[in-house]
Copies of this chain bind each other. A is one copy, B any other.
């Protein structure tokens, strides 16, 4: 069996933890598996490097940022390889460029274009454990690129796909994917199994275990992921394609996101092209819009509301300030004190009563719904930020019979 394992920054923060990861890798290897290990930079390395940069310039060239930050993973792979060698196993470390992880030219957020597998296969055939630097690759100019947020997860999944690995294990500092954030909901339960689509919704909705990019890649290539803790040997959460039969489970998990701001344009004349004008202007400034709601027309005018990440609010307001005159809006408002709570589940589409159950659960808590957005497998509501924790708990209680999921099949 060929297994790709990925260990995040907290799993390799310090020599002691690196030795523990090495032991874990060696244990697997001694079961007879071929092992490729992807690691992130140790703990706070990246932050320390960035703080050095800030003492030099406020506008570093992105190519040089990649040159700088890629050293973090290079340190990790060398140290982990030494620790594995110390335990008596054959091992070799490889940087992203050495592996042949070819990316596009977009420094600091490059996308993988191709992975050459010759060297990897050669080293595996020679009986080596191969330790690969996550988060980094090389463009056609032979320059080092980095993959941006979630980069190491993406490296691991892409390697698993390129090598046709049997399994990709993502080690992190939590036990797996939970039915809700355990910090908010003490009786949240670990999900033994979720589908790629559910995980994508959960990932996008603020369950920060896995970056959506890596889940997308796993889905496309059909790589089963196992998200688990590097601090114990518990089974975590398996993410894989789930068949129709298994979709009977209505609600898989409750997600919430506090990094939300709402903007509303009011009294916008109802003319074709208005929405395009607004959202193209936002896209031009790289502002990602999440939920968009257009109210029913009243006296020939609409209200258009949408949400953005709080970090994008300033940029978004600057766009709205300019665009409001072009679309002849009556004005605009915004609110930072909002949150998004969502229920996610692959079986939702065939259970029309679920939305009503959600709204009822929130109404009973006197929680007002500001905006509502639905997809085939999720329902999201924008509410007051101060009510988010209470909302998540109420939803978890209400759907608690659904969110038991011991074998990927449960009755709603």
Nearest Cβ in chain B — how far from A372, in angstroms? 46
Q: Is A53 an interface residue (CB 8 A)?
A: yes
| Beta-carbon contact of A68 and B75 below 8 Å | yes
| Beta-carbon contact of B65 and A85 below 8 Å | no
| Interface band, chain A | 35 or more
Q: What residue in chain B is nearest A67 (Cβ atoms)?
A: B78
Contact of A86 among B56, B67, B144 (CB under 8 A): B56
| Beta-carbon contact of B83 and A56 below 8 Å | yes
Tell me which residues across on chain B come within 8 A of A81, comparing CB atoms.
61, 64, 67
Q: What residue in chain B is nearest A97 (Cβ atoms)?
A: B97
Nearest Cβ in chain B — how far from A200, in angstroms? 34
| Beta-carbon contact of B142 and A98 below 8 Å | yes
| Beta-carbon contact of B98 and A86 below 8 Å | no
Q: Is A208 an interface residue (CB 8 A)?
A: no
| Beta-carbon contact of B64 and A93 below 8 Å | yes
Contact of A71 among B15, B16, B61, B74 (CB under 8 A): B74
Q: Is A60 an interface residue (CB 8 A)?
A: yes
State the CA gap A142–B96 with chains docked (Å). 12
Tell me which residues across on chain B come within 8 A of A15, comparing CB atoms.
52, 55-56
Copies in the complex: 2
Please report which residues of chain A, range 362-398, place their CB below 8 angstroms from some CB of chain B when the two chains form the complex: none
Tell me which residues across on chain B come within 8 A of A93, comparing CB atoms.
64, 67
Q: Is A170 an interface residue (CB 8 A)?
A: no
Q: Is A18 an interface residue (CB 8 A)?
A: yes
State the CA gap A75–B93 with chains docked (Å). 19
Q: Is A112 an interface residue (CB 8 A)?
A: no
Tell me which residues across on chain B come within 8 A of A65, comparing CB atoms.
78
| Beta-carbon contact of B79 and A52 below 8 Å | yes
Q: Is A77 an interface residue (CB 8 A)?
A: yes
Please report which residues of chain A, range 97-119, place their CB below 8 angstroms from some CB of chain B when the two chains form the complex: 98, 119
| Beta-carbon contact of A75 and B82 below 8 Å | no
State the CA gap A57–B80 with chains docked (Å). 10
State the CA gap A15–B53 with chains docked (Å). 8
Tell me which residues across on chain B come within 8 A of A98, comparing CB atoms.
142-143
Q: A67-B74, A74-B67, A93-B67 are in contact. Are A59 and B86 (CB under 8 A)?
A: yes
Q: Is A49 an interface residue (CB 8 A)?
A: yes
Nearest Cβ in chain B — how far from A71, in angstroms? 4
Q: Is A238 an interface residue (CB 8 A)?
A: no
| Beta-carbon contact of B59 and A79 below 8 Å | no
Q: A98-B143, A142-B98 are in contact. Are A60 and B82 (CB under 8 A)?
A: yes
Q: Is A63 an interface residue (CB 8 A)?
A: yes
Nearest Cβ in chain B — how far from A60, in angstroms? 4
Nearest Cβ in chain B — how far from A333, in angstroms? 40
State the CA gap A321–B408 with chains docked (Å). 72
| Beta-carbon contact of A53 and B67 below 8 Å | no
Q: Is A19 an interface residue (CB 8 A)?
A: yes
Nearest Cβ in chain B — how far from A245, in angstroms? 48
State the CA gap A144–B70 with chains docked (Å). 15
Tell me which residues across on chain B come within 8 A of A55, comparing CB atoms.
15-16
State the CA gap A53–B63 with chains docked (Å). 29
Nearest Cβ in chain B — how far from A157, in angstroms? 24
| Beta-carbon contact of A49 and B75 below 8 Å | yes
A: which residues have CB within 8 A of B? 15-16, 18-19, 49, 52-53, 55-57, 59-61, 63-65, 67-68, 70-71, 74-75, 77-79, 81-83, 85-86, 92-93, 95, 98, 119, 142-144
A sample of 24 inter-chain contacts (CB < 8 A) reads: A15-B55, A15-B56, A49-B75, A53-B82, A57-B85, A59-B86, A60-B82, A61-B82, A63-B92, A64-B78, A64-B93, A67-B74, A67-B77, A67-B81, A67-B93, A68-B74, A70-B74, A71-B71, A71-B74, A71-B78, A74-B74, A95-B144, A98-B143, A119-B142
